[in-house]
Structure 1
């Protein structure tokens, strides 16, 4: 077994996936430290308010980007393979202009809601600043990931700025001072601004060859794809952040804080999914559009091997250590260990499904993806309405897990039918039985 693992880790693809996973796990560890320290420097209600407004700001960032972050991943890879620098420049200019205008509108809407609710002026400013900087990092990370490196894209988006915020929270904790949600959101926005600046500089340094290129635009094509990506991004954001808002509304701020903490811990597996998406978004589209079928299938097999190892190890750790992990947020979190376990089962199932969503979106089948995510959101909300009054916060966890499992199955079925690829860990069974050649990669839809 040791020899097999050693051979696995020597492969380039495996090292790439493992490196991306380590980056995501490191980012997740810092996020865990950030939120656990925040819970200890705030009252239960204040932490719930922080979690809710943070979720609202993150949804607003996604809405404001109008799908441009996914559009760039889709077309920067296609144009890079085709050597179309004129279209590369055109899509960059178009995306930056459109997203800047839409983000300003989104910020205005969030600020108006906060003002109507009677929030303090510092809270309104901090939420607005966080929304703007978060949107900039989301868009910049996609450009940096495609043109510079995964480390520059994801490192600045999720890793480096969190180090500064964690150190700030440690100082607050040792100083025995209570933070307000507005103060913490402001600190996060300031730290993220530094990451965004580094990202911008790195992107500008690799773009000098585009200065003398005349930009060409495919606005009709981009507009169609961007709308689909926008819908899918909003639905994904709702899946990830809207739960906390619903729990806050149906129960109370303290319970919303508990659900937020449990969901962030369960994101151990969501981090694995995000790592697979990050690696896949950089490698798979170029293989797909260049019709490197065998290398594409081989890459998916290696990704599945790493995924299977991480999923089973992670589930064991959560099952055994749930009370201890929740205890890091505070004593009153420990009693909700089953909320964490149930949520972890759902995110583990999603991770085991592999990057089906990324493959569908980045190979021209994004319109197939949107109805599945919409159904996922609808099922989750119905489950919340039915189960929360009956089971409380555990009902919310059950609803989230059930809807996520169904969506993962649907996406994998669609991925196999539309592209001929099996991105899940079940693909390992096909390869071990010698049936890998039965999967033929289909060409991208001509209507993409």
Structure 2
């Protein structure tokens, strides 16, 4: 058994997945520290306002990128495998132009909406700046992940900048000063800007010299894919952030803050899914387009093995330590343990489904993905409208979990039908069964 574990850990895919998961776990731990410290340095209403405007800014960044971040992952891998630098240059320039114009429109919409809501000018400026820098990091991380490394892409997007913000919040807490939401968003924006500059420098160093390369375009392919990626990205962002906005609207800022805290903790499994996506987005497209089917399936199987271990460990952590983790946000958060458990079940089911969404999108089946995620958002919205008046914040958690579980099942079925592979942990059971059958046949042939 020990020898099997050692061999498992020596596999290159295992080390890659484990490293990516550790990066995501570290990022998640820093995010948890950031949000728990923010809750303790703000009033309950102030934290709810912070969580709501942060969710608005995250959604606006996704809308402003108009699907270009996913488009780049899709086509940079294809063009690199096909050795087509002219198309690589073309898709990079096209994405930069489109996302720049669209982001200005999104930021303008945020400023107008914030003014209508009567927000302070400092909050308007802070949220607008955060939206722009966050979008830059999202776009840059996709390019850096494909061309440089996962550490440069995901590390600068989610890890390094949070260290300085956590230190700032510790200083505020020990100084016994209450923080304004706009102040924290401004500090986060400054810290993220440093990461964005580092990404730009790293990408510039590894890009080939395009000065003598002619620009070639495939506008019809890019437009079609970008549209589907954009809609999918908006719906995914709605799944993550629109919940908080709805709870804020239907209940109150303090409850929105509680739901935000519980959902961030439940995201321990969403972090696992994101880690698998980050690793898969770097490794799987090149294997798929180079038609290395054996290595493609081997990578998926090993990713499923790591997922199964992490899901079991994470559920135990949430069940036993949930109240203590919630209490770090404040005493009134600890009473919502069941909200956390329900949300964690939903994100755990999503994690067990594996990177089915990523595989569909990165292998040219993004059209199949959009209706499923749209149905997920619609079902969640109906559930909120029905259950929140009846069960309050627990109703929101139930609605989120049911819609997420159904979407995961449908996506996994589509992935098996369209690509012929099963990325979920259920694939491990089929693999084990096929091995036992092979051993049985081998034993029969040898006369055992």
TM-score by length of 1: 0.97
Deviations 1:62-81 (A, max 9, x none): 00000000000000000010
Say yes or no: does 1:24 pair with 2:24: yes
* Equivalent position of 2:442 in the other structure: none
* Equivalent position of 2:443 in the other structure: none
Map 1:55-204 onto structure 2 (within 5 A): 55-204=55-204
Paired residues in the alignment total 438
Distance change >3 Å, CA 135–CA 245, structure 1 → 2: same
Deviations 1:109-135 (A, max 9, x none): 011000111111000000000000000
* Equivalent position of 1:44 in the other structure: 44
* Equivalent position of 2:441 in the other structure: none
* Equivalent position of 2:412 in the other structure: 412
Say yes or no: does 1:207 pair with 2:207: yes
Instruction: Name the SS for the 1:434 alignment partner.
Output: helix
CA distance in 1 between partners of 2:48 and 2:5 (Å): 43
* Equivalent position of 1:371 in the other structure: 371
CA distance in 1 between partners of 2:405 and 2:106 (Å): 31
* Equivalent position of 1:273 in the other structure: 273
CA distance in 2 between partners of 1:405 and 1:4 (Å): 33
CA distance in 1 between partners of 2:44 and 2:56 (Å): 19
Write out the 4+ residue segments of structure 1 that deviate beyond 3 Å after TM superposition: 435-438
Instruction: Name the SS for the 1:433 alignment partner.
Output: helix
CA distance in 2 between partners of 1:437 and 1:223 (Å): 47
1:3 Cα shift?
Answer: 3.1
Instruction: Name the SS for the 1:83 alignment partner.
Output: coil
CA distance in 1 between partners of 2:355 and 2:60 (Å): 25
CA distance in 2 between partners of 1:102 and 1:46 (Å): 30
* Structure 1 unaligned spans of 5+: 439-448
Deviations 1:409-432 (A, max 9, x none): 000000000000100000101111
Instruction: Name the SS for the 2:422 alignment partner.
Output: coil
Deviations 1:25-59 (A, max 9, x none): 00000000000000000000000000000000000
Structure having the higher Rg: 2
**RMSD over aligned Cα, in angstroms?**
1.2
1:344 Cα shift?
Answer: 0.3
Tell me if the contact between 1:30 and 1:166 (Cα under 8 Å) persists in the aligned partners. yes
CA distance in 2 between partners of 1:16 and 1:190 (Å): 31
Deviations 1:327-356 (A, max 9, x none): 000000000000000000000000000000
CA distance in 1 between partners of 2:105 and 2:253 (Å): 28
1:209 Cα shift?
Answer: 2.3
TM-score by length of 2: 0.97
Tell me if the contact between 1:47 and 1:254 (Cα under 8 Å) persists in the aligned partners. yes
Deviations 1:151-209 (A, max 9, x none): 00000000000001000000000100000000000000000000000000000111242
* Equivalent position of 1:443 in the other structure: none
Say yes or no: does 1:9 pair with 2:46: no
Instruction: Name the SS for the 1:424 alignment partner.
Output: coil
1:7 Cα shift?
Answer: 1.6
* Equivalent position of 1:337 in the other structure: 337
* Structure 2 unaligned spans of 5+: 439-448
Instruction: Name the SS for the 1:211 alignment partner.
Output: coil
Deviations 1:359-401 (A, max 9, x none): 0000000000000000000000000000000000000000000
CA distance in 2 between partners of 1:432 and 1:368 (Å): 29
1:436 Cα shift?
Answer: 11
Instruction: Name the SS for the 2:176 alignment partner.
Output: coil
1:244 Cα shift?
Answer: 0.1
1:214 Cα shift?
Answer: 1.1
Tell me if the contact between 1:430 and 1:436 (Cα under 8 Å) persists in the aligned partners. no
1:6 Cα shift?
Answer: 1.9
